[in-house]
């Protein structure tokens, strides 16, 4: 079972969406959640502090989710962080691009707490191997 104190960063330019993801994570038992409104904001927060999990949207101003993912994978201090993409981008090329860039999971909107739970559990299993 994953540590309920695990620190999450939820990255989305839409405040409503951040709120929903935060609430769904809370429902799954994770209450240590912070938010960032785009990739640039996320990178700053990730570099400043001790996060264990990133849930990111794709389409955002300043820095998109895929650019954020590439930056995380290219940063020695952050590259081991699990990154779950939660996005409305449903094109195959997007999904393949994310997988090749090192995404830990991919969830298309609209999604439910059950889908989020399933993907998180799958990532936790991989992490514990």
Partner 1 sequence: MTAASPSKERTELSDDQVEKIGHATAHLHKLLKELGHTRNLEKSASTMPDARDRLSFIDKSMHEASEKTISAVEASIPLTGHTRTACSDLSMRLANTRFNEHGGLVEETISKLGEIAASEEAIRHNLMQIMEAQEFRDVAGQMVNKIVIAAAEIEVILLDILKEYAPNAKDSLISSEGLTAGPGLKTADSVNGQDEVDDLLASLGF
Does the footprint of partner 1 cover residue 124 (CB under 8 A)? no
Q: Is 8 among the residues that bind partner 1 (CB under 8 A)?
A: no
Cα–Cα nearest to 120, from 35, 33, 38: 33
- Our finding on whether 28 is near partner 1 (CB under 8 A) is no
Footprint (CB under 8 A) of partner 1, residues 79-108: 88-93, 95-96, 99, 106-108
Q: What are the tokens at 34?
A: 């912070």
Residue 56: its H or E element = strand 53-56
- Tell me which of 4, 5, 19, 127 binds partner 1, using CB under 8 A: 19
d(CA 46, CA 128): 22
- Count of residues near partner 1 by CB under 8 A: 28
For partner 1, the closer of residues 74 and 90 by Cβ is 90
CB of 119 to partner 1, least distance (A): 9
Per CB under 8 A, does 55 bind partner 1?
no
* Secondary structure (DSSP) of 95-111: HHHHHHTT-SEEEESS-
> Rounded to an integer, what distance in angstroms lies between the CA atom of residue 56 and that of residue 68?
9
Q: What are phi and psi of 55, to 5 degrees?
A: -115, 115
Round to whole Å and give the CA distance between 9 and 22: 9
Candidates 5, 31, 44, 112: give the one binding partner 1 (CB under 8 A): 112
Given the rule CB under 8 A, which residues bind partner 1? 12, 14, 16-17, 19-20, 23-24, 27, 59, 88-93, 95-96, 99, 106-113, 115
């Amino acid at each position: 079972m994953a540590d309920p104190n695990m620190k999450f960063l939820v990255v989305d330019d839409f405040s409503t969406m951040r709120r929903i993801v935060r609430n769904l994570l809370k429902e799954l038992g994770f209450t240590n959640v912070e938010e960032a409104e785009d990739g640039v904001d996320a990178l700053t927060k990730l570099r400043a502090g001790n996060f264990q999990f990133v849930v990111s949207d794709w389409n955002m101003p300043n820095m998109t989710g895929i650019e954020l993912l590439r930056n995380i994978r290219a940063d020695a201090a952050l590259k081991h962080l699990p990154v779950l993409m939660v996005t409305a981008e449903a094109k195959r090329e997007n999904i393949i691009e994310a997988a090749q860039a090192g995404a830990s999971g991919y969830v298309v909107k609209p999604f439910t707490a059950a889908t989020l739970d399933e993907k998180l559990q799958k990532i936790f299993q991989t992490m514990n191997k």
